[in-house]
């Protein structure tokens, strides 16, 4: 039986680990971002093209465009730092599964894009199983006493049905 402070320390330690892992990345790729500046006064002007170098930022994808950018960046990392990409991907996936954070479908697609369809499928299945097991163990260690204390009638009813 754990306490809320124990759960918070587990979440904090896992978050710190993932933060440090994503912060101290090896040198990554840079891509060219083109900005078109069209003069409004001269309609016949084709526009000036400014090219600026922007470094990719690592974050959980929230839409398909961000997923494509992340897959592109991690493809570079995979060719240069394969072990680091596997460690980072596995850590992020297990983090999301362990704490029941939505968005694993994007990581499933990313697994297929990075590792190929079959290796990505096997890796996603293994990581989903591992993360779900951690989620169960966390809830059993830290949540069982609170649920039975807060909802005794419903827990008794469920236990009788089982």
Percentage of the chain exceeding pLDDT 70: 78
Rounded Cα–Cα distance for residues 145 and 113 (Å):
42
- Looking at residue 1, its pLDDT comes to 52
Least confident of 14-23, 54-63, 80-89, 92-101: 54-63
Using alpha carbons, select from 94, 88, 123, 129 the residue that is nearest to residue 109. 123
Report pLDDT digits (tens) over 96-110: 999 999 888 888 988
Residue 67 is encoded by which pair of tokens? 């997923």
Strand partners, 33: 52
Mean pLDDT on 116-138:
94
DSSP state of 37: E
State yes or no: pLDDT of 15 exceeds 90: yes
Our CA dihedral for 49, 53, 56, 57, rounded to 10 degrees, sits at -100
3-state helix, strand, coil in the chain (%, to 5): 65, 10, 25
State yes or no: pLDDT of 118 exceeds 60: yes
Length of the chain: 162
State yes or no: pLDDT of 152 exceeds 80: yes
Report pLDDT digits (tens) over 29-68: 554 344 444 444 444 445 455 555 555 566 667 778 887 8
- Looking at residue 38, its pLDDT comes to 43
Neighbours of 76 (CB within 10 A): 15
**Domain range summary for the chain, segments of one domain joined by +:** 4-28+57-161
Of the spans 91-95, 100-104, 108-112, 137-141, which averages the highest pLDDT? 91-95
Mean pLDDT on 138-147:
86
The b-or-e profile of 36-64 (16+ CB within 10 A means b, else e) is eeeeeeeeeeeeeeeeeeeebeeebbeee
Q: Which residue has the higher pLDDT, 20 or 64?
A: 20
């Amino acid at each position: 039986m754990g306490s809320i402070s124990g759960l918070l320390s587990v979440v904090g330690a896992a978050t710190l680990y993932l933060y440090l892992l994503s912060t101290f990345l090896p040198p990554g790729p840079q891509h060219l971002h083109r900005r078109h500046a069209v003069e409004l006064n001269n309609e016949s002007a084709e526009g000036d093209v400014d090219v600026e170098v922007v470094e990719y930022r690592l974050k959980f994808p929230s839409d398909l465009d961000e997923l494509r950018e992340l897959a592109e960046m991690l493809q570079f990392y995979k060719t240069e730092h394969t072990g680091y990409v596997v460690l980072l991907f596995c850590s992020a996936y297990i983090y999301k599964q362990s704490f029941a954070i939505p968005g694993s479908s994007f990581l499933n697609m990313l697994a297929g894009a990075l590792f190929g369809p079959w290796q990505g499928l096997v890796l996603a299945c293994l990581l989903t199983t591992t993360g779900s097991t951690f989620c169960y163990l966390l809830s059993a260690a830290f949540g069982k006493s609170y649920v039975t204390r807060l909802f005794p009638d419903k827990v008794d009813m469920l236990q009788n049905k089982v």
